[in-house]
């Protein structure tokens, strides 16, 4: 792909899209380099919890990366969450033990049947070089769930402090078992290997304080490392297909995710590959 030279970043538009599936207005921010190739296909990156981009100073992050010619141009689509976030995000094929995630199938339909056609029409793009999906916390779980269940549509998933604890049985229940009741882990174990998929995981040592199995490692890191192990068992290569970033002083907050964002973007779309 022809690289944008000293490209500046523009927020091309803040759009309100009326979703029939979600029965609400969805706010979407579009970020696009102001200078790009007119002949080469561009990559698409969707992200959940797009309302956090301003707080993260995402435009400044992109401007630094573009000005240093560190990443390829990409169309970045930030999807703001709704008030029913815990119902729209989650796993589309199974509710958690509290019945959360009930609208996750509708959110998936919104992505494929409303948002992607809107993007293609808006930018007159028939196909993308590749598509990726990322998110923070529960939005990260949602992104992975969508990518895993529609692997033919995507090449990468980016998870920042993802809610991989999402479970079908309360952890305080006598029958609870990490190996049986974490929903995303079970999806991976029962799913099919798609060799083109790659995964980025970020955790912070200060994400939380809970340690349900008393092994001295907080749950968010345990859950993430266990999912990575499940991906390896499925056939993914830890060195080639998976990037794990653990920040010793990282919290479960937008500031930490903003610190990790350049690493994610260079990993996925860097102009210099390791």
pLDDT by residue for the chain (274 residues), tens only, comes to 334 444 555 656 899 999 999 999 999 999 987 765 556 789 999 999 999 999 999 999 998 998 888 999 899 999 999 999 999 999 999 999 999 999 999 999 999 999 999 999 998 888 999 999 999 999 999 999 999 999 999 999 999 999 999 999 999 999 999 999 999 999 999 999 999 999 999 999 999 999 898 999 999 999 999 999 999 999 999 999 999 999 999 999 999 999 999 999 999 999 975 5
DSSP state of 50: G
Note down the domain range covering 95.
9-269
Q: Looking at residue 2, what is its pLDDT?
A: 39
Is residue 176 in a domain? yes
- The total of structural domains in the chain comes to 1
Residues 248 and 221: beta-carbon distance below 8 Å: no
Q: Is residue 123 part of a domain?
A: yes
Q: Domain containing 32 — which CATH number?
A: 3.40.50.1820
Task: Tell whether 2 is covered by a domain.
Answer: no
Q: What pLDDT does residue 121 have? A: 94
* Cβ count within 10 A of residue 11: 15
Q: Is residue 100 part of a domain?
A: yes
Q: Kindly state whether residue 4 falls inside one of the protein's structural domains.
A: no
User: At 228, which helix (H) or strand (E)?
Assistant: helix 219-234
Give residues with Cβ within 8 angstroms of 62, minimum separation 6: 9, 31, 33, 76, 265
Note whether residue 107 is domain-resident. yes
């Amino acid at each position: 792909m022809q690289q944008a030279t000293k490209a500046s970043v523009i927020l091309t538009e803040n759009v309100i899209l009326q979703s029939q599936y979600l029965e609400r207005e969805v706010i979407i921010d579009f970020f696009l380099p102001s200078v790009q190739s007119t002949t080469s296909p561009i990559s698409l990156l969707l992200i959940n919890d797009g309302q956090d981009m301003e707080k993260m100073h995402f435009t400044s992050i992109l401007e630094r990366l573009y000005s240093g010619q560190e990443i390829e141009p990409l169309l970045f689509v930030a999807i703001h969450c709704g008030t029913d976030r815990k119902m729209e995000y989650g796993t589309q094929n199974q509710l958690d033990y509290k019945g959360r995630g009930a609208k996750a199938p509708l959110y998936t339909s919104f992505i494929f049947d409303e948002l992607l056609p809107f993007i293609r029409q808006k930018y007159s793009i028939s196909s993308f070089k590749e598509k990726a999906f990322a998110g923070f916390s529960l939005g990260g779980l949602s992104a992975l769930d969508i990518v895993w269940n529609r692997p033919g549509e995507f090449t990468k998933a980016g998870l920042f402090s993802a809610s991989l604890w999402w479970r079908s049985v309360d952890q305080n229940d006598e029958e609870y078992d990490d190996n049986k009741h974490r929903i995303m882990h079970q999806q991976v174990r029962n799913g099919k290997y798609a060799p083109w998929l790659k995964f980025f995981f970020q955790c912070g040592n200060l994400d939380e304080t809970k340690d349900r199995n008393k092994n001295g490692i907080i749950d968010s890191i345990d859950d993430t490392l266990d999912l990575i192990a499940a991906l390896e068992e499925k056939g993914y290569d830890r060195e080639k297909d998976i990037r794990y970033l653990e920040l010793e002083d990282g919290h479960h907050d937008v500031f930490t995710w903003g610190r990790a964002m350049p690493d994610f973007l260079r990993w996925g779309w860097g102009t210099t590959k390791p």
